[in-house]
Amino acid sequence: MAERIEVAVEGRVADGIAFLPEGAGPSPLVVFFMDAGGLRPALTHMGERLAATGYVVVQPNLYWRSGPLAPFDFATVWTDPRERQRIFALMNGFTLAQAKVGIDKLGVLSYDLGMTPKNPNPFDEDSEPLASRIATGLHKIGLAMKQQAWQQANDEGLSATQGQILAALVAHGPLTGSELSVRLGVTLPTISDSARVLADKKLVTKSPDPRHPRASLLRPTKRGAALGARARSWPEFMAASLVDLTAEEQRAFFSGVVKMIHALQQQGLIPLGGMCVTCTHFRPNVREGASPHHCAFVDAPLASEQLRVECAEHELAAEGTRAALWARFIRPG
Ligand code: SF4
- Closest atom of ligand 1 to CA, residue 298: 6
Looking at the structure, do residues 140 and 120 belong to the same domain, yes or no?
Answer: no
pLDDT at 99: 56
Looking at the structure, do residues 71 and 176 belong to the same domain, yes or no?
Answer: no
pLDDT in tens, the chain (333 residues): 788 888 888 788 888 899 988 877 777 888 888 877 788 888 888 888 888 888 888 888 888 887 777 877 777 777 777 887 788 777 776 665 555 555 555 555 555 434 444 555 666 666 678 888 888 889 888 888 888 888 888 888 999 899 999 999 998 899 999 999 988 888 999 999 999 999 999 999 999 998 887 889 999 999 999 999 988 887 778 888 888 999 999 999 999 999 999 999 999 888 888 899 999 999 999 999 999 999 999 999 999 999 999 888 899 999 999 999 999 999 866
- Closest atom of ligand 1 to CA, residue 275: 3
3-state SS string over the chain? CEEEEEEEECCEEEEEEEECCCCCCCCCEEECCCCCCCCCHHHHHHHHHHHCCCCEEEEECCCHHHCCCCCCCCCCCCCCHHHHHHHHHHHHHCCHHHCCCCCCCCCCCCCHHHCCCCCCCHHHHHCCCHHHHHHHHHHHHHHHHHHHHHHHHHHCCCCHHHHHHHHHHHHHCCECHHHHHHHHCCCHHHHHHHHHHHHHCCCEEEEEECCEEEEEEEEECHHHHHHHHHHHCHHHHHHHCCCCCCHHHHHHHHHHHHHHHHHHHHCCCCCCCCCHHHECCEECCCCCCCCCEEECCCCEEECHHHCCCCCCCCCECCHHHHHHHHHHHHCCC
pLDDT at 328: 94
pLDDT at 68: 76
Looking at the structure, do residues 6 and 117 belong to the same domain, yes or no?
Answer: yes
Look at residues 235, 264, 295 and tell me which one is the last residue of a structural domain: 235
Looking at the structure, do residues 28 and 67 belong to the same domain, yes or no?
Answer: yes
Looking at the structure, do residues 106 and 87 belong to the same domain, yes or no?
Answer: yes
CB of 311 within 6 A of ligand 1: the answer is: yes
Looking at the structure, do residues 14 and 117 belong to the same domain, yes or no?
Answer: yes
- Closest atom of ligand 1 to CA, residue 307: 8
Looking at the structure, do residues 156 and 216 belong to the same domain, yes or no?
Answer: yes
pLDDT at 98: 58
CB of 259 within 6 A of ligand 1: the answer is: no
Q: Domain span at residue 282? A: 244-330
For the domain that residue 142 is a member of, what is the CATH number?
1.10.10.10
Q: How far is the CA of 259 from the centre of ligand 1 (A)?
A: 16
- Structure pTM? 0.56
Q: How far is the CA of 285 from the centre of ligand 1 (A)?
A: 14
Look at residues 126, 151, 166 and tell me which one is the last residue of a structural domain: 126
For the domain that residue 111 is a member of, what is the CATH number?
3.40.50.1820
Looking at the structure, do residues 209 and 311 belong to the same domain, yes or no?
Answer: no
Look at residues 108, 126, 144 and tell me which one is the last residue of a structural domain: 126
Looking at the 3D structure of the chain, how many domains does it have? Answer: 3
Looking at the structure, do residues 39 and 119 belong to the same domain, yes or no?
Answer: yes
Looking at the structure, do residues 169 and 190 belong to the same domain, yes or no?
Answer: yes
Looking at the structure, do residues 147 and 76 belong to the same domain, yes or no?
Answer: no
Residue whose CB lies within 8 A of the most ligand 1 atoms, among 286, 308, 329, for a mutation test: 308
pLDDT at 101: 54
Whose CA is closest to atom 3 on ligand 1?
276
pLDDT at 226: 92
Residue whose CB lies within 8 A of the most ligand 1 atoms, among 183, 265, 279, for a mutation test: 279
Looking at the structure, do residues 63 and 168 belong to the same domain, yes or no?
Answer: no
Q: How far is the CA of 39 from the centre of ligand 1 (A)?
A: 56
